[in-house]
Amino acid sequence: MFKKGSKVYSIINNKCPQCHEGSFHLSHPYNFKAFGDKHDICPVCALKFEKEPGFFYGSLYITYAFGVGIFVAWWIIKTVIFPAMSVDAMVLWMIAIQTVISPMNLYYAKLFWLNIFVQYNPQAN
H or E segment to which residue 102 belongs = helix 87-117
Closest CA to 66 of 1, 110, 35: 110
CA angle 110/49/62 to nearest 5° reads: 20
pTM of the model: 0.84
As a whole number, mean pLDDT of residues 25-40 equals 88
Asked whether residue 69 is domain-assigned, the answer is yes
Q: Is residue 1 part of a domain?
A: no
Average pLDDT, rounded, for the chain: 91
User: What pLDDT was estimated at residue 1?
Assistant: 61
User: Is the pLDDT reported for residue 4 higher than 90?
Assistant: no
Q: Is the pLDDT at 105 greater than 90, yes or no?
A: yes
d(CA 100, CA 44): 32
Give the total number of structural domains in the chain.
1
Question: Which structural domain, as residue segments, surrounds residue 31?
Answer: 7-124
For residues 124 and 55, the model is more confident at 55
pLDDT digits (tens, 9 = 90+) for 52-87: 999 999 999 999 999 999 999 999 998 999 899 898
Residue 118 lies in a domain: yes
Q: Which amino acid is at 107?
A: Y
Does 18 fall in a domain?
yes
| pLDDT at 5 exceeding the cut of 90 | no
Q: Is residue 47 a part of any domain in this protein?
A: yes
